[in-house]
Amino acid sequence: MYKRGDKKIINKGGAYARSGYGILFDMSILDAFSSFFTKKSPSVLGIDIGSSSVKVVQIKKKRGKAVLETYGELALGPYAGTEIGRATNLPNDKIIEAVKDILHEAKTTTTSCGSALGGKHISEVISLEARKYIPVPISEVMLDWSIIPREDSYASDETEENPEKQKEGQDVLVVAIHNEYIASYQAIMSGSGLNPSFYEIELFSSIRASVDQGLQPVMILDMGARSTKLYIVDRGLLRAAHIINKGSQDITLALSKAMSISVAEAESLKRMHGLEAPPEYKDAKEIISVNLDYLFYEANAALLNYEKKYHKTVSKVMLSGGGVLLKGFAGLAKVSFQADVVYADPFGKLETPAFLREQLATAGPEFSVAIGAALRRLGELA
């Protein structure tokens, strides 16, 4: 079994290495508990292909509950000939190779899945009149949308009783994805032997897995290798989205440059100590803090803009993505946002073996998107 906090990395030639936070659990242990899982309900997969890793989660339904069967994560850096933790831009054949590898290592048993699409490829998240905002012909993109209820619609049917309200128009969230990108994902899924029933933007998968429909707005801070995504969710609905072009990889590169060490050494230093580095690594702590200060400044600006526009206070910040597992990250975030800061716990929405719950809670922020996609696919079978 792999120790909590380890990641099983597949390198060329089949060699394995371990690195920092994030895990691929030794599935032989879950296999021993296979008798708990009924064979009557079909299993489904959630696939999350990020910039620095690919994640997979397999679940099934038992007695009305979603049950975890297996899960895993695989770094993509080695497939690009770079270090673990680096953002990549792999060709389809390399991504297919990585997806096949993680499916094999996680011992998945189904090809039925849902797949999340990276947010960096969204043309724009906008309100009404999509043609004015999307910078390419409508024929070249796939559009999806959802109606955003007005604040007064939660409490009454005022718009039905007052026709003048209807004339004011309706807010609509529109998402546009270029057809070429959809075709690329379809080729990856087909080449990997998978049969996805849908493709959805990763932010919707993340919200489904992480946020309950409460009365107060919540901000999700999702820190990946290449960028950090901010989502503000109110009553289960996306109200605002913002992308900061800084991620965990930027911290590694800053450490490497400032301390004149290799990128691999910088990544190891970051993962081992983070903001809790001993005195001999005070320079590393300061470098990390400077980078996070910029991220939190941008995030606070987005948060304040939302609060000013909607006259609501965001009292909770939920941390998601591999980058937030940096030691000391949550403490600094709490000071910066002056709000309740919690880690996303998507595994908490699944039935899991009791002895794994602490480990899964630690791994949770990295698997929000994959679990969200799997939950939607499972819901389609109901």
pLDDT per position as a tens digit, 180-189: 888 899 999 9
Separation CA 219–CA 239 (nearest Å): 10
Separation CA 380–CA 374 (nearest Å): 10
The amino acid at 264 = A
Domain span at 356:
8-380
Separation CA 114–CA 283 (nearest Å): 43
Over residues 243-279, the pLDDT tens digits come to 999 999 999 999 999 999 999 999 999 999 999 988 8
* φ/ψ (deg, to 5) at 326: -60, 130
Q: What is the DSSP letter of 238?
A: E
- Whether 1 is in a domain gets the answer no
Over residues 36-59, the pLDDT tens digits come to 444 556 999 999 999 999 999 999
Over residues 63-90, the pLDDT tens digits come to 889 999 999 999 999 999 999 989 999 9
- Whether 225 is in a domain gets the answer yes
Q: Which residue has the higher pLDDT, 324 or 165?
A: 324
What is the tally of structural domains in the chain? 1
Over residues 56-65, the pLDDT tens digits come to 999 999 988 9
* pLDDT attached to residue 10: 32
Average pLDDT of span 281-298: 93
Going by C-beta distance under 8 Å and a sequence separation of 6 or more, which residues neighbour residue 207? 220, 231, 233, 236, 238, 372
- Whether 339 is in a domain gets the answer yes
The CATH number covering residue 130 comes to: 3.30.420.40
166-170, 178-182, 226-230 — most confident range: 226-230
Q: What is the DSSP letter of 257?
A: H
Average pLDDT of span 301-319: 92
- Whether 332 is in a domain gets the answer yes
